[in-house]
Chain A
Amino acid sequence: MKTFYIKCMKIFAFVLCLAPLFMLAWKGFNSALGANPIEVITHSTGKWTLIFLLITLSITPLRQMLRLPWLIRFRRMAGLYAFFYGCLHLMTWVWLDKFFDLHDMWADILKRRFITVGMAALLLMLPLAITSTKGWIGRLGGKRWSTLHKLIYASAALGVIHFYWLVKADIREPVRYGIILGCLLLWRLGAWAIPRLQMTAWLRGFQNADSSPTKVGSE
């Protein structure tokens, strides 16, 4: 029953995640992408890459704060969609912007720092996408796999920097993405540090209790 329910939700989520692409396609068919459709496609696919990276990174905090353990089962899909939109974003650049001019692309990657970091962000996603299968988790072992997949933090950070370095003067939007990413990473830092601090405090209390037992209740 529960599995069936989640299966249905997954199909729904899968289709929903394609909505940005279909919106672009729909507007393309109806000549509604404005004067510079290639720019719209480039910006839109880039933005959705970032959004899906942030969604992927929200899943663990959300499932713990809202106590919805099954949310984890949507994480891979979100991550792969981030990679998918990232690939579309790259393809837009390679095809519609550079027309497969390898020399020109390489020069840009070396010379334009926003392209350098953008490319790095996408490259970092590649091993994550490849090892997203059950088989790879088995081959790597859960612990190594999860260490490898911490690369998403770097990828998302580089993605935000890529956006920040691109804008001409109005930094509000990239900063907004940066703040959300910052919150998501801080939450992880907290989740990592707080139990350790508590453990230290508890252990200290334990030692103290050993040597000089504290009174519980003064009455």
Chain B
Amino acid sequence: MLIKKKSDIPSSEITPQETYFNRREFMIGAAAAAAIATGARYVGEMASPSQVVHAENKLNVASKSPFSTTEAQTPYNDITNYNNYYEFGTDKYSPAKLAQTLQTRPWTVEVDGLVKKKKTYDIDYFLKTFSIEERIYRLRCVEGWSMVIPWDGFPLSSFLKQVEPASKAKFVKFTTKYDPREMPGQRYGVLDWPYVEGLRLDEAMNPLAILAVGLYGGELPKQDGAPIRLVVPWKYGFKSIKSIVKISLVDKQPPTTWNMAAPNEYGFYSNVNPNVDHPRWSQKKERRIGEFFKRDTLMFNGYGDQVASLYNGMDLKKYF
């Protein structure tokens, strides 16, 4: 009985019979092409800095704020085309397209829990009641990029004072709209919907915390959290919950979406902190959108003067 054993791989299987190109030259050429391409955008931007504002529905912005930074503002185009808004897709380019199905009128915000004035407020109430300020804030995403955004809004504390929290209230819980027909990302359970976020009441009362209704002087684009969103500039971006439909005053620390998804990676506080790494990546540096070199990330995103006292005596490595 002859069992035919497979011989070594025939050479024709291993090697093409001809060398068709010099591999080394190709590698060098291609690498050069990549380098040139990378540089091109930056050179192009330096030549013609773009600052086109398309804001359609202008807001009546009454005042500027001493809390605003004078740093260069991120172009409108970047703020409205590079969004983390998982309700409209998990990549950053989808929300600009997919968020247009969101119905932002009529819109109401329900206030409940430990509060004197349990009530449902129409979006127009906010626009009529509060004087709109411009707040130019740094925004630091937990992923390691940042922007400078001229928000238009009013202090969260102004609204909270109106609804009169009970003395037992210690935290504020925020909820985003839930409607999978309008928010296609909610059809997939990548996160536990609806999106919820929370602040300690004293954090919420800090003058830096605002409810934003616009940016660059116009109404908020849908992909940026229209018609009303939270902005807490000393915390990672995901704390600044978008398209809010409910605000609850509660006595216990509320569950928050990203914390539920990965408790060891996203804490309840999530203050910007270069000394506490995300378990999978460093938080020491950030890429400011539009800049080539990374810059150092600042403690509390540079808002330490206003907010550091909120955390006196707290171990920020433990309460990350």
Contact = CB atoms under 8 A, between A and B. Distances in A.
Interface of A: 3, 7, 10-11, 14, 18, 21-22, 24-29, 31, 33-39, 41, 72-73, 76-77, 80, 84, 87-88, 91, 96-97, 99, 108, 111-114, 134, 137, 141-143, 145-146, 165-166, 168-170, 199, 206
Contact of B262 (A21, A146, A169, A206): A169
A46 to B, nearest CB: 14
Contacts of B18: 3, 7
B280 interface: yes
Interface stretch (B8-16, B122-130, B153-161): B8-16
A138 B69 CA distance: 66
Nearest to B142: A168
Interface string B189-230: 011000000000000000000000000000000000000000
A112 B190 contact: no
A142 B93 contact: no
Interface residues of B, number: 52
B17 interface: yes
Contacts of B9: 142-143, 145-146
Given A28-B40, A77-B16, A165-B280, 10 more contacts: A22-B33, A35-B77, A39-B287, A41-B34, A76-B16, A84-B27, A88-B34, A112-B282, A142-B8, A170-B190
Given A145-B14, A165-B280, A170-B90, A11 B20 contact: yes
A21 B40 CA distance: 14
A137 B15 contact: yes
Interface in B3-32: 3, 8-18, 20-21, 23, 27, 30-31
A186 B220 CA distance: 51
Interface in B66-119: 74, 77-78, 81-82, 86, 90, 92-93
A141 B17 CA distance: 17
Nearest to A134: B15
A144 B138 CA distance: 57
Contacts of A80: 23
Nearest to A195: B6
A107 B121 CA distance: 51
A33 B45 CA distance: 13
A37 B261 CA distance: 28
A36 B16 contact: no
A8 B30 CA distance: 21
12 contacts: A7-B20, A14-B20, A18-B30, A22-B33, A25-B33, A76-B15, A77-B16, A97-B294, A112-B281, A134-B15, A142-B14, A146-B8
B296 to A, nearest CB: 12
